Amino acid sequence: MLDAVVVGAGPNGLTAAVELARRGFSVALFEARDTVGGGARTEELTLPGFRHDPCAAAHPLGINSPAFRALPLERYGLRWLQPELPMAHPFADGTAAVLSRSVAETAASFGPRDAGPYRRLVEPFLPRWDTLARDFMSLPLTALPRDPVTLARFGLAGLPPSTWLTRRFHDERAKTLFAGLVAHVMAPLSGLATGAIGLVFALAAHARGWPVAEGGSQSISDALAGYLKDLGGTIHTDYEVKRLDDLPPARAYVFDTSPTALARIAGFGRYYDNYRYGPGVFKIDYALDGPVPWTAPEARAAGTVQIGADSAEIGTALRAASREGRAPDRPFMITVQPGVVDPTRAPAGKHVFWAYGHVPAGWTGDLTDAMERQLERFAPGFRDRVLARATAGPPELAARNANYVGGDIASGAVSGLQTLLRPRLSLSPYRTPHPAVFICSSATPPGPGVHGMSGHNAAKAVWRKLRQTP
């Protein structure tokens, strides 16, 4: 009898398995795909020698994760590489607002009227960032807040919609960059707690940057898997779990899956029927003949580049995908260019380039042309650099990873109460109707991203139970 079986080797499943194994529990992990990684993987999707991240590529949440920071992942080959600028947001006039490690540089890029309001927004939180990150990523109630006063202040600033928070800015530059930050989790800009989402990405940049992982995001997963094996855990790939009976006897089962899949596998009937999935994305991985020819010099130095002419255009694109059921004409795009700092991703002089835009759930069209028209606005001549492209819309994303239901890369809408309370309204969201079955995917708090904190929090619930029942 094993102590714990984990299903799904995404960052959360791997973290849950590691957390249990390092506390002396016997753990086996089962993964449907032939390699570990889930949303943190790297593959040669286009041409030989071009190493693409089909899913996550930029890691503000990974480098700031209290769970990852407590693990010896560097010893297992993980190396964070920091671009000169974490993020840039270019405008049609050839200039750009930036998210820099330095608050002063960031504030200056917003223009004189918004430099002060931006500093006043972020500076109170920065000295307490590590404690704050631990407190809000551990909620709800897996640990008591260490600094309740700062957490409450953060809640006051972040719980209202981001459109309230950005009222303090006078000009479009800061408003646009901030709207783009919120759009990283596909949340509507006017949604509950969307201010907090934007704030987290900004604070993360100032605290530790938005790095990429050397060699690709796979190295995060490989480091977790290597550590798990050294701790005595076993990993079984190519093993899709369809029923609980497919798994060996164990005292606890931890699912890094969607709530819907868990309900089907464990026979929970309609338990998660109220769980909602969000819009999908259309992803393109490019092999390029050289770097992206951005007009704005700042964009050439940034790891991540957001594309959206202004906050209204970003809001329109999000609404089209999430509420109006149509693909946006001018998609808001997040792009990552790992080659600015990691030469291992492509042959000498060449680059990989990563981009996605939002589309309705399950959308079957092709967004390539609309995305490339957007890119040409800010990087004229982009198309001439394209050697090859690999595209994936919602059906392909869902086929690659069952957690991305309808192409929703957040494994559940980040909107309304579900932003904070997922997968159900519960004080112990990692528990399920079965006392030995737990859920640890990004459908649980603190939500999407490669940070392993859902796995960490779920593991805590599991080891408490295992210690109570010898």
Ligand X SMILES: Cc1cc2nc3c(=O)[nH]c(=O)nc-3n(C[C@H](O)[C@H](O)[C@H](O)COP(=O)(O)OP(=O)(O)OC[C@H]3O[C@@H](n4cnc5c(N)ncnc54)[C@H](O)[C@@H]3O)c2cc1C
> Which residues are near ligand X by CB under 6 A?
7-13, 30-33, 38-40, 55-59, 61, 240-241, 256-257, 261, 281, 283, 356, 397, 401-404, 409, 441-442, 448-450, 454
Our CB check for ligand X shows the closer of 76 and 354 to be 354
Beta bridge partners of 52: 43
Q: Which residue has the tokens 């040409």?
A: 376
Q: Min. distance of Cβ 40 from ligand X in angstroms?
A: 6
The tokens for 470 are: 């010898």
Q: Min. distance of Cβ 114 from ligand X in angstroms?
A: 26
* Other Cβ atoms closer than 10 A to 218: 20
- φ and ψ at residue 220, rounded to 5 degrees: -70, -50
Q: Min. distance of Cβ 335 from ligand X in angstroms?
A: 10
| Strands laid side by side in the 333-336 sheet | 96-99, 85-90, 302-307, 333-336, 351-359, 280-288, 386-392
User: 286-309 as b/e, with b when 16 or more CB fall inside 10 Å?
Assistant: bbbeebbbbbbebbbbbbbbbbbb
Our CB check for ligand X shows the closer of 142 and 150 to be 142
Our CB check for ligand X shows the closer of 162 and 258 to be 258
Classify residue 406 by burial, with Cβ atoms within 10 Å: 0-12, 13-18, 19+: middle
CB 188 within 8 A of CB 322: yes
Q: Which amino acid is at 174?
A: A
What contacts 112, CB < 8 A, 6 or more positions away? none
Listed residue (412, 372, 413, 363) closest to 392, CA to CA: 363
Q: Min. distance of Cβ 187 from ligand X in angstroms?
A: 14
Our CB check for ligand X shows the closer of 31 and 135 to be 31
DSSP designation for 247: S
Beta bridge partners of 306: 334
- The residue nearest ligand X at its CB is 10
Q: Regarding beta strands 85-90 and 386-392, do their DSSP bridges make them parallel or antiparallel, or are they unpaired?
A: unpaired
Q: Min. distance of Cβ 152 from ligand X in angstroms?
A: 26
The tokens for 270 are: 């309609």
Our CB check for ligand X shows the closer of 173 and 206 to be 206
Q: Min. distance of Cβ 115 from ligand X in angstroms?
A: 28
Our CB check for ligand X shows the closer of 112 and 269 to be 269
Our CB check for ligand X shows the closer of 150 and 401 to be 401
Cα separation, 391 vs 45, in Å, equals 9
Our CB check for ligand X shows the closer of 198 and 448 to be 448
Cα separation, 354 vs 300, in Å, equals 14
Our CB check for ligand X shows the closer of 185 and 193 to be 185
Cα separation, 282 vs 301, in Å, equals 25
Q: Min. distance of Cβ 159 from ligand X in angstroms?
A: 22
Q: Min. distance of Cβ 410 from ligand X in angstroms?
A: 6
Q: Min. distance of Cβ 54 from ligand X in angstroms?
A: 7
Q: Which residue has the tokens 């286009």?
A: 46
Helix or strand holding residue 79 (H, E) = none
Our CB check for ligand X shows the closer of 189 and 204 to be 204
Q: Min. distance of Cβ 44 from ligand X in angstroms?
A: 17
CA 12 to chain CA centroid, nearest Å: 12
Question: What would the DSSP string read from start to end of 208-229?
Answer: H---EETT-THHHHHHHHHHHH
